[in-house]
Structure 1
Amino acid sequence: MAVDASRSGQEAAPGGRWGALGPVGLVLAGGISVQFGGAIAVSVMPKAGALGIVTLRLAFAALVLMIVCRPRVRGYSRADWGTVVAFGVAMAGMNGLFYQSVARIPMGPAVTLEVLGPLALSVFASRRAVNLVWAGLALCGVFLLGGGGGFSGLDPVGVAYALGAGVMWATYILFSARTGRRFPQADGLALAMVVAAVLFLPLGLVESGDKLVRPEVLALGAAVAVMSSVLPYTLELLALRRLPASTFAIMMSLEPAIAAIAGFLVLNQALSVNEALAISLVIAASMGAVRTQVGRGKARKSGDVVSVSGATPDAVLLPTEGAAGHAGHIKGAEEPVSETSGK
């Protein structure tokens, strides 16, 4: 599914700059849904456990995606299946580690630390000197999150889980691109979600047991799946047809701020001055890396294509959502954006 970005942008925005508010609103709505879904998940953890809520989220999301996408399972090579299984493993690891993190530290710092994974992938892959500036800003943010060093203000186990989730997020991005090249539309995503759900099912059963089948827990798990996976994927899919890649990527860099707001409103997680400044620095680093990559891409490409499932082999993929768990892509010569969030 591909459309010319410049042509679709003109159709969607006859009023010029103001016409972009439609897809921008869709992306914002998707980001808000993701992070508030994550906040609801944290509130459900006392009833179902961190692994239990991840199990429910992945299971419901897999069910919905299989019904909607109806992917075919024949005609693929062993390498294709190996790729989609690796994608599912990365998705499961990313979700599991992230939810273990937010069970221990506030959502804002957790998402901020997790974003470092995709940011590092972008900086290292681009091999441009200016990205050292963005890396430096991100490191300053990490330093401030630790209250000036040592992470004394945050649970070190929660910090480790968040950083691990960031590593898995970067891995997720790489395999989402490979999956997009091997499977049409969102078929690879649906199959990988099934892999992730199957992997997590025994973990959720061991931790939560029959709690997972309680009506209130099932209902909340379904709500988390819809808010953190199904709804954001749908909204961003619609936005990607009309929104420039650079705008989309920059907006997705705001995820740590949205997570902090969701944590404050839903979970009463207030941020210290240092934490707020740290989040701002990491957001600035992410935006800077995006703009650097966009500038590099514009120097090399003659046109953009928006694609739901694919990326160029040499693409530098940048973070999009904090918790969506899906794999759409904006595909251009140098500026595709992989939607992960897989939280």
Structure 2
Amino acid sequence: MSTPPVRLSTLAHGGGCGCKLDPAVLRGLLAGQPAAGPFERLLVGNETSDDAAVWALDDGTCIVATTDFFTPMVDDPRDFGRIAATNAISDVYAMGGRPIMALAILGMPVGKIPPETVAAILAGGASLCAEAGIPVAGGHSIDTPEPIYGLAVIGTCRRDQVRRNADARAGDALILTKPLGVGVYSAAIKREALRPEDYAAFVATTTRLNRVGADLAGDADVHALTDVTGFGLIGHGLEIARGAGLIVVVEADAVPLLARAEELVRDGFVTGASHRNWAAFSDSVALPADLPEWRRHLLTDPQTSGGLLVACAAARAGAILAQVRDAGFAQAAIVGRIEAGPSALRVV
């Protein structure tokens, strides 16, 4: 009798970007750390919780460097590798850069997962890197209690095309390029409650490269970029607000959702990370009194390999949205705006 395949999602306490540290805990840890220091060529460090570090070279070229890894949110090893790779590469695109190579980060519970499963994870990541046009040039592996996979990614961009999360301007429009609901779908996957067609939609969105970010960075009317991952739309929206010292306004009804996201939330598929995100950010968020609870859960839903949040000149928002949709992001939408005022996020 053959041994049943190992369900990767059952070997981890959390999955995807939902296994990030509690944002309140993370803030406390980072508050006690020294700043990156007075390095003239360090254009982006750890001061604004941005997506990647950026270092300027002599000729005006910048190096963009990031790392991202997590535990499985799916059971198919190749899909796990592809999703994790897409998520890691996204940080480079979110800075306006283009990736040039990656290094694999691998932690596996030796003896619990067969070698062919680990090989499939690595192959999935490598296939996605090939789609992005970059090699996996090396890496590091260790024996860990839970499966972990991800990448360190290096990219480049021109100095004038670096796009931070902190440079939004009052009057800007906000565009979100991918629908929310990845965390909710992940919870359903773990409980084997997601239909095959919904799983296919989940994989399609989480493996869609955010390469449009590099194209948008060439447009002077695109002022700020970030990707929406483990802290949800509210958490990453607040990073924009705090970095710019402005108010981010999110129009709840305009936010795109995966097809069954509302239904699954109403059925109880809410992650622990969603609750942690709300506890960490609620003191800086104003909600309308009649906002349904299911919608609030989706605003804090942790996204794995989520979309880009784009702050751009309002007069060009329609044209920029059309560019994003033409790049393959059919559900991209204008979801809010930036207003003058003390750092906060308001849902309307």
User: TM-score, normalised on structure 1?
Assistant: 0.30
Q: TM-score, normalised by structure 2?
A: 0.30
Higher strand share: 2
Higher helix share: 1
Q: Higher relative contact order by CA 8 Å / sep ≥ 6: 1 or 2?
A: 1
